[in-house]
Amino acid sequence: MRQKYSKDFLLSLYTTMLRIRLCEESLVEPILSGEIKTPCHLYTGEEAIATGVCACLTQKDYIFGNHRSHGHYIAKGGDLRSLVAEIYCKETGCCKGRGGSMHVISPSCGLLGAAPIVAGTISLAMGAALASQLRGEDRVCVSFFGDGATGEGVFYESLNFASLKRLPIIFACENNLYSTHMPISECRSNVNIFESASSFLMQGFQVDGNDVIEVYEKTKDAVSLCRKGEGPVLIEFLTYRLRGHVGPDDNIQGTHTDIRPDEEVRRWKKKDPITRLETFLLEENRTSSSELDEIRERIMREVEEAHIFAKQSDYPIKEELNKYVFRQ
């Protein structure tokens, strides 16, 4: 099936995933050195989901994120310099340095916000979908959340209300198999999250979240259903984070909080979404190693320039820390 896609389209997916990966990996050293002080939940390993989903959306479509939303921001078209500056908590950041890593936003491209409260933005996304429906705006809303959020009551309340009103919303569960450090099998009696959809008379699907083409195709179908008034849709994307729950590594500084088996980690590294697409592009002669190298070099320059911009930017002044935070 993937042979039908043009080289330009496939390279656009590859470029977005690589932009997310290189941005995330560029944060490792400044996090470890203490230069970046805001807690960072890196999206490394899960890039295919944000990339494939957002490739199906228009600029006017809305998305909502969570604590691990750098990838959502980038995939929806958010400015890279503003993102990195926000992570450094600088005034030039997308939240004026007040939000840090876990509060990113870009209304101009449709990301209406992310927040670290588990399941905290699901009901907000549902409300945005309801508003769009009432206004007749032909706008689809996507709510990104992790598997841990499905343990919160607001998730089920939102599924019920969205189904009752046939809202144009996609509930996008990024299931990386662990709720912080607890395996999903110890959190849920039924580990197949997508099956929750049937209880609310809505469609649900389980997708290989490390296959960007599969993510794109299933999301495209879901978007079509929502635009026709046949939503909502729940999609469970199976994936795996290749970094720590928060920060680069859960086992640094003499601690050991990552209980994932080494063999499991190795197995998932072989399913790296970027490597998988890269292998396909090369094996099908859709591109060359030199062309991929050029893409990587270009993105690395973008990321380096974003860090330079962030480091040269000012912190918010102390007397104005409450500015933009509270309505005056």
Where exactly are the structural domains of the chain? 2-316
pLDDT given for residue 197 in this prediction: 97
Residue 163 has pLDDT above 60, yes or no: yes
pLDDT given for residue 251 in this prediction: 67
Alpha-carbon gap, residue 244 to 149, rounded angstroms: 18
Burial of 68 per CB tally in 10 Å (0-12, 13-18, 19+): buried
Name beta bridge partners: 135: none
The percentage of the chain sitting over the pLDDT mark of 90, rounded to a whole number, equals: 88
Alpha-carbon gap, residue 56 to 194, rounded angstroms: 20
pTM: 0.95
Alpha-carbon gap, residue 135 to 122, rounded angstroms: 20
pLDDT band at 250 (very low <50, low <70, confident <90, very high): confident
pLDDT given for residue 3 in this prediction: 75
Fold entry, domain 2-316? Rossmann fold (3.40.50)
**Average pLDDT for the chain:** 94
Mean pLDDT lowest among 64-68, 290-294, 317-321: 317-321
Please tell me the number of Cα atoms within 13 Å of 161 on its side-chain side: 15
pLDDT given for residue 327 in this prediction: 65
pLDDT band at 181 (very low <50, low <70, confident <90, very high): confident
Residue whose C-alpha is closest to residue 37's, from 82, 79, 90, 83:
90
pLDDT given for residue 1 in this prediction: 63
Pairwise pLDDT comparison (152 vs 320), residue with the higher score: 152
| Structure tokens, 324 | 């933009």
